[in-house]
Structure 1
Amino acid sequence: MTRLLFTLALLLVACSAAAQPWPEPDGSERPLSASAAVAALEAYAFPPRDEAGRTGVRTDALLIIHDDEVVYERYGGVTRADTPHLTWSISKSILATVLGVAYGEGRFSLDDPVAKYVAPFTAHPDIKLRDLLHWASGLDWQEDYEYAPLNSSVVAMLYTRGRGDMARYTAEHAVAGAPGTSYRYSSGDSTVLAAALKTMVGESAYADYPWTALFEPLGITSATWERDATGTFVGSSYAYMTARDLARVGLLMQHGGRWQGRPLLPKAWVDFNLTPFESVTPTDEAPGGHWWLNRRADGKPGPWPAAPADTFAALGHWGQALYVIPSAGLVIVRYGDDRDGSYDHNQLLKRVLNAVAGEGGK
């Protein structure tokens, strides 16, 4: 009898371990075999520096997870496996994932007016939460960066007159069009969502909510998230985490919102994130619900022709990227510092897919 119980216990442990998409503490590893495809990937992602120490593509971290196993991991410069890296606008997709937990808790509806949660938006009563998630608030926002700082709404929000209360600063923008109709990329929309979350969960719970709701359940231990002077998370830009911790967010999304066999995000939320937004004005982008997609609402090809149509990504300034390719079983984290615009998403995806395909399905 004792032997039978012991055998049953071993079977239960084995089944439990098999159900975990990312076994603790950091997942199993199965390095890619050396090949011409892997060499081509490395030549693109980590090119040699010239005599002045410069190079076109500068990769700080490249992590590839295939079928829930780490198959490639390399770091450059001062970045290491334990370095929390600035994610820039990947923060927007992290925020959307945190909001997904709140959505599953019944704290808001996509069609709720933003003004219900963010008082300055009483000036814009027709803007809904779903509009912010589609970057379609209709506000006259200028998402210019260092090449046009005097005209930039985002530079002013992050560093000058808007940094004291970023949501209020965003609400002070004029209306450019009807909300929910046209895509207009806006870091302001994202930071307003972070302010709305504060009302949804309450002031006392807010400071810890991204951790208790998402980071801790996923085993993320490296996360830092800066806040503005009112205590609102800078949902547009200022989350930091290691490559392996960011990969956990990608694995959650790859598995349809389930983590270690249990639902953490509602399926309806993931479906919303991954449904192309249909903008009435033309755009070369393919936005979903605060994620970037490789398929468009009009049926045209997506922005990364080398990758399958189900590819989606969280993207940030200077080449930060979290790619998820469910049909290929891939999650890819790429951190970098590409200020000259030489980095190309499609080129990296093509090389990763070739390198993994070269394993012959092993």
Structure 2
Amino acid sequence: MVRGLLCVALLLATVTTRAETWPDKDWAKGTPIEGPAVDALNAYAFPRRDDATRQGIRTDALLVIRDGEVIYERYAMPTTASTPHLTWSVSKSLMATVLGVAYGESRFKLSDPAARFYPPMKQHPSVTMADLLHWASGIDWQEDYEYAPLKSSVVAMLYTRGRADMAEFVAGMHTARAPGEAFRYSSGDSNLLSAALKGMLGHKAYMSYPWDALFKPLGIHNATWETDADETFVASSYAYLTARDLARVGLLMARDGRWREQQLVPKAWVDFNRQPFDHYKAGQDEAMPGGHWWLNRAVQGAPRPWPDAPADTFAALGHWGQALYVMPDEHLVIVRYGDDRDDSYRHNELLKRVLAAVQP
């Protein structure tokens, strides 16, 4: 009887314990998913493309990692597995992850004023690093692109008045409300974080820091991150990575900042990234903000933004359909690159179909 119980216990342990696979130079291949649910996923993500009008869902890359192994991968030309793709605002979450390494090195505290590291922010002396990470600096900001370009702060920062020194442009803007009191999505806040990191490190160390601190330890060797004329990384917009390389960042976050035996980013930092911002109001954006990541959380009676995905799902999201989704309990990391121009793509629809496709 005792022997029988022991066998059952060992069997249960075998079933519930998942092997921990990590990518080396490349990702390991798992058992590819197939069947009608995969056909439905392909039909949604990769419909016939109309390059003349650029209408409809236009997926450039879709990659699904389960338990550290590739189980689905598809691309639409000209994007391939070796193409570093523009991530747009996924860059913001990448900067937050780089800052997580600096946080683990005790280079700053969340309560530190940004002006401690970036002197032009003395015009906004009460804005803390946490405020910037919550997109809650209180700086008057208009995050519009195609819909109101003449009034857009972000268009002015990236392409006209502010493009030579983007952080200085943002720091010179007026305050609209007290910092930390309200969420207001701002690419400017993200570029102030980049400038603050530069102040912590000094120019020379800063220029290689994303690679030294994050990319190289993860095995990412082909990342590009553009700077402005002041040689500050454009943390809001201009990082380029392959889908496979961006998935490495997702796996790091799925495993609470640990990469193999190294705690590359403190777990406390990942917890902060995944902690909802207290002053967010339902409907202000497509998902709930955490610490420069997006969360699938219900708020003030409103449902989760992606109701068919688990509540622990969190994501890095970018313009025209760029996305890195992390589902820790499902052991899934999903990268989706796109060229969507008409707002037809839906995060929840893709996630629902991926989850259906990966079910045993």
- TM-score, normalization: structure 2? 0.91
Which of these residues, 327, 352, 355, is aligned with residue 353 of structure 1? 355
Matched, 1:325 2:327: yes
Cα shift readout 1:109-159 (whole Å, capped 9, x = no counterpart): 000001111111111101001000000001110000022110000000001
Which of these residues, 290, 300, 303, is aligned with residue 301 of structure 1? 303
Distance 1:237 1:163 in 2: 12
Q: 1:51 to 1:87 in 2, by over 3 A?
A: closer
Q: Contact 1:21–1:259 (CA<8 Å) still a contact in 2?
A: no
Distance 2:334 2:280 in 1: 32
Q: Identity across aligned pairs (percent)?
A: 66
Distance 2:352 2:23 in 1: 28
What is the CA-CA distance between 1:173 and the residue it aligns to?
A: 1.3
Matched, 1:336 2:342: no
**Structure 2: 5+ residue stretches without partners:** 1-17
**Structure 1: 5+ residue stretches without partners:** 1-17
Q: 1:53 to 1:193 in 2, by over 3 A?
A: closer
Q: Contact 2:280–2:289 (CA<8 Å) still a contact in 1?
A: no
Superposition map of 1:89-238 within 5 A:
89-238=89-238
Distance 2:151 2:54 in 1: 30
Distance 2:234 2:41 in 1: 34
Which of these residues, 289, 292, 295, is aligned with residue 290 of structure 1? 292
What is the CA-CA distance between 1:262 and the residue it aligns to?
A: 1.8
Letter in 2 for 1:251: L
What is the CA-CA distance between 1:54 and the residue it aligns to?
A: 5.1
Distance 1:71 1:138 in 2: 43
Moved over 3 A (4+): 18-21, 49-55, 296-300
Distance 1:31 1:47 in 2: 25
- TM-score, normalization: structure 1? 0.91
Cα shift readout 1:158-185 (whole Å, capped 9, x = no counterpart): 0100011111100111111110010000
Letter in 1 for 2:74: R
CA RMSD of aligned residues (A): 1.6
Distance 1:172 1:20 in 2: 48
Q: 1:77 to 1:56 in 2, by over 3 A?
A: same
Q: 1:53 to 1:115 in 2, by over 3 A?
A: closer
Q: How many residues in Structure 1 have an aligned counterpart in Structure 2? A: 341
Q: Which moved more, 1:279-288 or 1:345-354?
A: 279-288
Q: Contact 1:19–1:261 (CA<8 Å) still a contact in 2?
A: no
Which of these residues, 312, 330, 337, is aligned with residue 310 of structure 1? 312
Distance 1:35 1:25 in 2: 30
